[in-house]
Structure 1
Amino acid sequence: MPRPDRPMRLRRTSALRGLVRETRLSPADLVLPLFVKDGDGLRDEITSMPGVYQLSVDEAVREAARAGRLGVSGVLLFGIPQHKDAEGSAATADDEAVQRAVRAIKAEVPDLAVVTDVCLCEYTDHGHCGFLGTDGALELESSLPQHVAAAVSHARAGADLVAPSSMIDGVVGAIRDGLDAAGFGHVGIFSYAVKYASAFYGPFRDAADSAPVFGDRRGHQMDPANAREALREAALDVDEGADLLMVKPALSYLDVIWRVREAFPDRPLGAYHVSGEYAMLKAAAERGWIDERRAALEALTSIKRAGADIVITYYATEAAEWLSEGGPKG
């Protein structure tokens, strides 16, 4: 008669659980988003994202250096300009906060990967991701050159990767051609290949001051009900020259992360643990409803377990500290 299988034997102690753990989360898997703006010594906390700040460049460098010391692999930079207009012209200026932050971080922490978000929504006075026609609709073709100019400006500042996030058709190919033509063939593209029109972006729009003045982005971001379409979007971006792919948001789309991982096994895959997902954990922890440390590490581990190689998260620095202390307690 066969002996009964006893999986609990391997759960009896922390050492045994660690020995047979299938998914391992480490600081090196993490990327920290930072919001940068003009000024000096500024750390303006974002009300809807406790522990996250709008930072002047000098403070962003300090945050990046701290993340690097803890083993975090990279930072993702978003800019908050002083001037906005209909074309988002500040996005392409070499002296804007993002470009200055890239130079400063690469000088201070040269081994840290610096990724820059490439989109116009933070820079336009209407809050949309490109140029608008007279009917108020997003104009695809006319918006692409401005995205390219912003990406080239970031590359000139020293960015390792540029990350186009608008989900506008053809933006990855246009940026690849533009980078190559400008002599930046070595700069990679971390594409927001699968970005859903999600309700979980609300706190980010507070942080980046990027909420649309009218309408929404459902005309160019993906319908949350669609999963097969994700593979089509990812394939298009790979064909256009994307070096890394991203799924955004993460927790509500673990199945999509898994599908993209299975379809593109050799392509580095990131997932963005977005502002609303972060804020929900923070709010529940503040009320004593959850153990924040355990819940956050469980959430981040689930993203990696679903197939992500890279997890972009506002918890990156905290998680790196917790992991260095031995992971979740209890």
Structure 2
Amino acid sequence: MDKNESARKKGIFERIGTRVDDSIYNILNGLSSVIFGITGLFIPTSDVLNNIKNSESFIGSLALIFSSYWIYLILLGILLLIVGSVGNSREISNLKGKIKKLSNDNNILKKAETNLKEKIDEAEQELVETKTTIRKLNLDSIEIWLKVYSKQLELTNSDRVSLYYEDNKNLHILSRYSINPRLKEIHKQKFPLDKGVISDAWQNGVCYKVIPVSYSDSPSQYIKHCEAIFGYDEDEIKSLTMKSQLYFAKAITDADDHIGIIIFESYNPNLFDDGKKDEVKSFLESSSSLLTNLIKASKKFDQEMMNKTPSNATMGDEEELLKLAKKEAKNG
């Protein structure tokens, strides 16, 4: 308690000392004014002037002036005024110097802030470009996998394969491959989960459907079968770029949760005859880990592009995915 009290008193005296130091020249000017005021009131001016006037010499006049103690008060007042004025002048000069320095420092800080903002903008732009590159690399790895596996299955220009991921109760297409450029085109990006092969595969894990008649042979019969099997209306069926006869879809799972779907389509209803369907199913199950990683990465990139949030993915991660895709396709 004594130490605290002592420290408190010390702090008080330090503050008082600081304030006195800061205003000492103003105090001196004030004292000089007081002295001049007192001497002006109390000096017997008429007597002094008469004595000086009656003095016979200049030296005598000086002797009379300095024989009065009032002159010393006046001299003290003059001295205090000079010291106070010089001190205030120096203080003002110092303050101007400090203001100039602060102004320069402020300009430097503003320039540094501008440079920092420019660097942040550049870093953000580089981040966007890097994320775009990473996303493209991930999509390229998906397309490579689809392309290699399509060749392994000997798919023709009458076939195609597409990979989708689920988000907010819709399927979004990630990639599509076909030897036929027209069938490879992507027109619709989002598909509902409550219709068609997608709905069946999403609910049951696997969907295999064959339409007994081709659209080119009998459009009306094809539309009738698709309406009954998939729940699409006539306009939706007619708008399909590829009016396939064979559909084979399998859900991609992550810890028993469906996260995407891969769909094979063909104009050839016999594409997966002779046990080939089971081979494809087994291969997709063995590739589940790779497909899961590719789908999860793509979903994350797409969400980040929409939300403009920072990504935790690295280029190294996606290069590893690409290596895995090539290796998996080669081994398959």
User: Do both proteins adopt the same fold according to a TM-score greater than 0.5, normalized to the shorter chain?
Assistant: no
TM-score band w.r.t. shorter chain: under 0.3
Which structure carries more helix by proportion?
Answer: 2
- The two structures have a TM-score, normalised by structure 2, of 0.22
Higher relative contact order, structure no. (Cα contacts within 8 Å, ≥ 6 residues apart): 1
- The two structures have a TM-score, normalised by structure 1, of 0.22
- Considering only CA atoms, is the larger Rg found in Structure 1 or Structure 2? 2
